[in-house]
A and B are shown apart, each in its own frame.
Chain A
Amino acid sequence: MARIARKRKKPKSIHVSHESAKPSRKVPPVACQMRMEFELRECQRRLRDLLDFAPDATFAVDLDGRVTLWNKAMERMTGRKARDMMGKGNHEYAIPFYGKRRPGIIELLLKPEKRFERTYSNFRRTREGITAEIFFPGLRGRETYLWLIARPLYSPKGRVVGAIEGLRDITEHKKAQAALKASEEKYHSLVDHSLQGIVIAYGPAPRLVYANPAIARMVGYTTRELTGLSPLQLVGLIHPEDRKKFFELFDARLAGKRVNPHHTVRVIRKGGRTIWLDITSNLISYEGKTALQGTFIDVTEQKMAEDALGESEETFRSVIEASHDLIMLTQVDGIVTYLSPACRQVIGWKPESLVGTRPDIVHPEDAARVRAGIGQAQLGKSGVDMQYRIITQDGRIRWVSHSWSPLQLPGKLKMVASVVQDITERRKTEEGLIRQKEQIEELSKMRERFMADITHELKTPLSVILLNLEMARKLEPRSQKKQLQECFELMWRNSMRLSRSVDQIMQLTKLESVDVSAVRFRISNMMCMVCNEYLPLAKSKGIEFEMNGPPIEMKGNQHLLAMAVSNLVSNALKFTSAGKVSVKWAESGGNVVISVSDTGIGVRRESQRKIFDKFFKEDHDAPGSGIGLAISSEIIGRMGGRMEFDSVPGKGSTFRIIIPKEVRK
């Protein structure tokens, strides 16, 4: 202990050995001597007590290395009692520490020995004594650092009589020091290697007291240059447009005001380029002064990308707004969030009346199909060219083609992007083409059937003629005259029928250029001519056949009209197996109405629309060519008249020709 050691100027008070404490002065008278000895002993006892209760472990040796002092703290540190140690030499005191006999600094003080001095750290020898530190890995079972001090002890005459050593346990202090050092090293390492720029600044006139390598790289200066910048130079680093705001925040932050610690600032790099830095600042105490620690992240690239994105967004927006197709954005729940300006042209709705809603504009007949399609979009599937009808704001129907694709932008809700086209015109054209194609196909099928049917029509009378000829050949003219006559009758009639069929075919092909030149004629005459032709057929089928009407004269082509009527009568007899066929005519207004009624099979309801079509036959197996009514209708049309009919399936039909009395050319 330093304090004790310094007391060597009052040597009396530190006589601690009985031997060395013997008075050496001239012997005083006895009473006086006794009193002095008593005082001395008292003094020594008090000193021992003091040393005993001193907090630091302390011991002393004489010149022979024998222990002359071993205080209580020493007992606690070593576990050895003073009574066991007192008077012991031969490095006895070293055993509790070193586990062997060797000199400690107390003896090295008197007898220097280099190889032992090297076992200490911070070994320092001065005129006054020795200080040193030493580490014991297992002193009384624990790691212990000791700080040691040794001083010589002097006799009253100033002769060295021994030495005293104080030992202080500095383990906790050492550990705290080591932890602090490690923490400091860690901090420096972190800050120095951080990718974020870090500075510590004082104010109010800004000065950097620390700048890490990262901030130096960002701004293009060395760390030393940065910490050397004057307040004016520092202000110059901040972009002029951001300067005012930046230093307002700097001052406010430094004054401890609550402001947003994060902001972005433009900084001018060495060389003049502008960079964007994100700053976070913290109020700290640095070397006893209030300071700001700023952390910087270079966000220049991000900013530039944002600017570029802004530009490209602008480009895309103008493309979308110029598009003739409707571009639509919807949430997955169907709510529309954007409609391009083409909305009004394409779907006939104002965008503002649909945005923010789930539009209900699909034609009811297509709604289920569209819902299913949109359901696919909700599942994240895309769709192409779904065609459906929509109803415009003013209630018209339009066809659209809708294609869509799910859209997932980073950090945004899932959306569906759609392109909608108006295809109303296209649909019309397509539908027209499809109808035309169907018509052509049907016509071609009808022509084929017609060829088969017309052949049947020609072959039937021919077969009658041939078979009768065969018979007639073998008949005896005189004895079988009646049979022969019948044969000729049949042949004649069927030859006429054959001829009529051929005429019809010719008429059909020539009808386009037929002559409708008009002559005056009596209708009754014409009707008699037609009916006479069919009387035998009616008779042989057992059908009642009647005709009547007033005497009327009309003007037109008699032969063509006869053909038209003839076809009606032929049909009536063909499709009637029992009952009556009646032919009537009358005048009505400026028109002549001729009607042919029968009690035949009638016309099925589904066939009534097509009955005047060329080659139409109700039944594939029905006899006839299917052109009779078509020819009649064509003829009457050309004469400026029209045809009508009523029919009840299974009961019979009435066909009417309504024709002007005076047919104009």
Chain B
Amino acid sequence: MKKILIIEDEPDVAKTIKMYLEGAGYKAEYSLDAAETVKMLKDYDLLLLDLIMPKFSGRAVLKGIKANNIKKPVVVLSAVALPRVISQELARDFPGILFVSKTAMYTELLPAIKKLMGK
């Protein structure tokens, strides 16, 4: 069973995603603190990463992953006002990752995960 790590500072969002993924047949765990993400990632097959967090932002995590040359698939989640702008920015800076707007998770999250896992 594929293991997914959720990094999300909002407990309700994290909990909901975890339940949703478990319902879809994945093993999911979450952390409200992004600081240890890179270390934790070795035990997981995929990372779901929130972008806007206090202290340690999603962008900082992505930089850490890139710097450590970790090739795990990443789906970035965010509730930003202009998802298209952010998604283009991320695709340019971190090729290979997928971006899903939080309000579209109920339709787009599972296809995005499947797309990356299928590779």
Contact = CB atoms under 8 A, between A and B. Distances in A.
Contacts of B12: 461, 464, 490, 493-494, 537, 540
B95 to A, nearest CB: 21
B7 to A, nearest CB: 13
A293 B78 CA distance: 114
B81 interface: yes
Nearest to B13: A464
A467 B54 contact: no
Interface string B81-96: 1100000000000000
Nearest to B100: A463
Contact of B20 (A451, A471, A537, A623): A471
A49 B59 CA distance: 148
Interface residues of A, number: 34
Given A621-B51, A623-B9, 5 more contacts: A456-B78, A471-B19, A575-B54, A577-B55, A623-B10
A528 interface: no
A240 B95 CA distance: 110
Given A471-B19, A575-B54, A459 B79 contact: yes
Contact of B79 (A456, A471, A474): A456
B54 A466 contact: no
Interface string A576-602: 010000000000000000000000010
A646 interface: no
A664 interface: no
12 contacts: A459-B79, A461-B12, A462-B79, A471-B23, A474-B23, A486-B19, A575-B54, A577-B32, A619-B54, A621-B52, A621-B58, A622-B52
A12 interface: no
A648 to B, nearest CB: 16
A621 B103 contact: no
B18 to A, nearest CB: 11
Counting chain A CB atoms within 10 Å of each CB, which of B17, B33, B102 scores highest? B102
Nearest to A493: B12
Contact of B15 (A452, A460, A466, A540): A540
Contact of A463 (B11, B52, B79): B79
Interface of B: 9-13, 15-17, 19-20, 23, 32-33, 51-55, 57-59, 78-82, 101-103, 105-106, 109
Contacts of B54: 574-575, 577, 601, 619, 622-623
B9 A470 contact: no
A348 to B, nearest CB: 54
A541 interface: yes
B106 A601 contact: no
A574 B10 CA distance: 9
B13 A456 contact: no
B13 A460 contact: yes
A459 B51 contact: no
Nearest to A537: B11
A601 B15 contact: no
B13 A470 contact: no
Nearest to A538: B11
A480 B9 CA distance: 27
Contacts, number: 91
Query: Which of B17, B33, B51, B106 has the most chain A CB atoms closer than 10 A to its own CB?
Result: B106
Contacts of B16: 464, 467-468, 471, 490
A483 B15 CA distance: 12
A467 B103 CA distance: 8
A132 interface: no
A372 B110 CA distance: 70
Contact of A466 (B11, B52, B58, B105): B105
A191 interface: no
A470 B80 contact: no
Contacts of B81: 451-452, 455-456, 459
Nearest to A577: B33
B80 to A, nearest CB: 6
A537 B80 CA distance: 22
A105 B56 CA distance: 144
Nearest to B79: A459
Contacts of A459: 79-81, 101-103
A467 B106 contact: yes
A176 B97 CA distance: 125
Interface string A469-482: 11100100000000
Nearest to B35: A577
A379 to B, nearest CB: 54
B102 A463 contact: yes
A452 B103 contact: no
Nearest to A473: B106
Contacts of A469: 106
Nearest to A451: B81
Nearest to A448: B81
Interface string A613-632: 00000010111000000000
A467 B33 contact: no
In the complex, which of the residues A451, A464, A486, A537 has the most CB atoms of chain B within 10 Å of its own CB atom?
A464
A613 B12 CA distance: 29
A577 B14 CA distance: 15
Contacts of A452: 80-82
A451 B109 CA distance: 26
Nearest to A489: B12
A466 B20 CA distance: 11
Among A466, A486, A575, A621, chain B packs the most CB atoms within 10 A around the CB of A621
A483 B103 CA distance: 21
Interface in A62-89: none
Contact of A467 (B51, B53, B105): B105
B106 A541 contact: no
Interface in A121-166: none
Nearest to B109: A467
A623 B53 CA distance: 6
Contacts of B55: 577, 601
Contacts of A540: 11-12, 15
Contacts of A537: 11-12
Interface string A517-539: 00000000000000000000100
Contacts of A471: 16, 19-20, 23
A484 to B, nearest CB: 11
B73 to A, nearest CB: 20
Contacts of B106: 466-467, 469-470
Given A452-B80, A541-B32, A470 B11 contact: no
